[in-house]
């Protein structure tokens, strides 16, 4: 938190320009810096770091007993009591480990950093913008440390499963990014006043704890490889860490393979209702008018703003806001 840019709210902006600021305790930190802090923490706790590419598990009698790793031009065999696969949303390693049940992602997103000191103080909330131009998804601008801003677009359901083939919809993220910038004046101003730090980068998302098996003897899948990212918000860093902690707790609690895996899978199953609710809330991305409706209603209701804040802080459930019951409460409560 000491290195992060803090913010006090998420600004939700609807297609008609309505805005509601949902209070929360928020922090923005470039991923490279966060990873460095995490890696340093692991090293301080006794981990060894090896830059390597996971190629395949080593198996004996149906049990994973290590991994084949590519280190430069060499392939080495690393024996291990457990292999934890944390290889993110690109499914290649999952497939090599025999854990992938769906190779297509749940969505795709694109983001870059812009340094724009003149915009500091003008954009202070994490702004999330729903707009026809970004449908089915949203655009965002997050104030980051050192006068920088994280700006991007994300599209959900980018790979509709046509006849089980996981065919891709016609999604051009760069065109959607350009349309977002054209449609949202603060994004236009940011691009006009600032300069790019690095490039715009796109990547897939795997959401709702779907698309992979979670464990097999000797191996656990953690993080986004297990689909740990929230649908609707695309929030995944904290969630990935949470699944890592669940796996660590299970390994520390049980010497026996089946018991450790059962505890880990039970931990994920306990999170599932929340993921399902985020999946339901995802309809806001498909039907941006729902965002208009929520924002319009929240502008009038301190109680609804409080509930939205509860979703943000993870003390209440997002699905309640856009379920049929939630919608009728929006109108009639
Ligand atoms: C554009 C974009 C913006 C996002 N913004 C946010 C945000 O603001 N907040 C948020 O909470 N989430 C955000 N997310 C989601 C977030 O990035 C993910 O949920 C999160 O990174 C998942 O963490 P992870 O450690 O499981 O996977 P990753 O961060 O993807 O890490 C996996 C690592 O494994 C490595 N790897 C892959 N294959 C192999 C292999 N075979 N051998 C060795 N290493 C391998 C990869 O190189 C990578 O370093 C965003 C996603 C995208 C695409």
Q: So where are the chain's domains?
A: 5-32+108-204, 73-106+206-333
Nearest by Cα to 296 from 3, 8, 13, 5: 13
Please list, in sequence order, all residues whose beta carbon lies within 8 angstroms of the beta carbon of residue 177, skipping any fewer than 6 positions away: 110, 139, 152, 153, 200
Ligand 1 center to 31 CA (angstroms): 9
Ligand 1 center to 87 CA (angstroms): 8
- For position 224, what pLDDT does the model report? 98
The fold adopted by the segment(s) 5-32+108-204 is: D-Amino Acid Oxidase; Chain A, domain 2 (3.30.9)
Count of C-beta atoms within a 10 Å radius of residue 259: 12
Burial class (CB in 10 A: 0-12, 13-18, 19+), 121: exposed
The finding on whether 229 has its CB within 6 A of some atom of ligand 1 is yes
Q: How far apart are CA 167 and CA 172, in angstroms?
A: 15
The finding on whether 158 has its CB within 6 A of some atom of ligand 1 is no
Question: Could you tell me if 118 and 88 are in contact, meaning their C-beta atoms sit under 8 angstroms apart?
Answer: no
Nearest atom in ligand 1 to 28's CA:
8
Q: How far apart are CA 31 and CA 200, in angstroms?
A: 14
* Residue 28, beta-bridge partner list: 5
Instruction: Using DSSP, state whether 323 is helix, strand or coil.
Output: coil
The pick from 224, 233, 238, 278 for probing ligand 1's pocket by mutation, whose C-beta has the most ligand atoms within 8 angstroms, reads: 224
The finding on whether 203 has its CB within 6 A of some atom of ligand 1 is yes
* Among protein residues, the one whose CA lies closest to atom 2 of ligand 1: 109
Residue by residue, pLDDT tens for the chain (333 residues) are 999 999 999 999 999 989 999 999 999 999 999 999 999 999 999 999 999 999 999 999 999 999 999 999 999 999 999 999 999 999 999 999 999 999 999 999 999 999 999 999 999 999 999 988 888 789 999 999 999 999 999 998 766 554 455 555 667 899 999 999 999 999 999 999 999 999 999 999 999 999 999 999 999 999 999 999 998 888 999 999 999 999 999 999 999 999 999 999 999 999 998 898 888 888 787 888 888 988 999 999 998 888 888 878 888 766 666 565 665 565 444
Count of C-beta atoms within a 10 Å radius of residue 327: 15
Peptide bond into 231 cis (omega under 30): no
Please list, in sequence order, all residues whose beta carbon lies within 8 angstroms of the beta carbon of residue 159, skipping any fewer than 6 positions away: 104, 105, 106, 166, 167, 168, 169
The finding on whether 93 has its CB within 6 A of some atom of ligand 1 is yes
pLDDT for 32-80, tens place per residue?
999 999 999 999 999 999 999 999 999 999 999 999 999 999 999 999 9
pLDDT for 155-194, tens place per residue?
987 665 544 555 556 678 999 999 999 999 999 999 999 9
Q: Among the residues of 20-112, which ranges form H helices? A: 31-44, 92-96
């Amino acid at each position: 938190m000491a290195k992060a840019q803090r913010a006090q709210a998420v600004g939700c902006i609807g297609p008609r320009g309505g805005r509601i600021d949902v209070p929360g305790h928020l922090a923005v930190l470039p991923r490279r810096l966060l990873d460095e802090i995490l890696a340093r923490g692991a090293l301080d706790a006794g981990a060894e770091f090896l830059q390597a590419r996971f190629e395949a598990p080593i198996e004996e009698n149906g049990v994973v007993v290590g991994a084949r790793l590519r280190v430069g031009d060499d392939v080495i065999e690393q024996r291990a009591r457990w292999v934890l696969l944390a290889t993110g949303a690109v499914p290649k390693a999952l497939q090599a480990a025999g854990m992938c049940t769906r190779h297509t992602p749940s969505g795709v997103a694109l983001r870059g950093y812009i340094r724009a000191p003149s915009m500091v103080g003008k954009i202070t909330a994490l702004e999330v913008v729903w707009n026809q131009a970004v449908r089915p998804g949203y655009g965002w601008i997050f104030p980051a440390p050192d006068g920088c801003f994280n700006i991007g677009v994300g599209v959900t359901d980018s790979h509709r499963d046509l006849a089980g083939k996981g065919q891709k919809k016609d999604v051009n993220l760069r065109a959607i990014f350009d349309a977002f910038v054209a449609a949202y004046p603060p994004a236009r101003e940011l691009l006009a006043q600032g300069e790019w730090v690095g490039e715009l980068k796109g990547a897939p998302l795997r959401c709702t704890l779907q698309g992979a098996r979670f464990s097999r003897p000797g191996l656990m899948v953690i993080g986004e490889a297990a689909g740990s990212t929230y649908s609707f918000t695309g929030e995944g860093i904290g969630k990935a860490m949470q699944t890592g902690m669940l796996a660590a707790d299970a390994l520390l609690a049980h010497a026996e393979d089946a018991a450790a895996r059962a505890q880990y899978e039970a931990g994920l199953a306990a999170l599932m209702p929340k993921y399902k609710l985020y999946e339901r809330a995802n309809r806001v991305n498909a039907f941006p008018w729902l965002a208009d409706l929520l924002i319009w209603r929240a502008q009038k209701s301190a109680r609804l703003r409080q509930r939205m804040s509860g979703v943000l802080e993870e003390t209440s459930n997002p699905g309640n806001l856009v379920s049929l019951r939630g919608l009728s409460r929006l109108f009639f409560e």
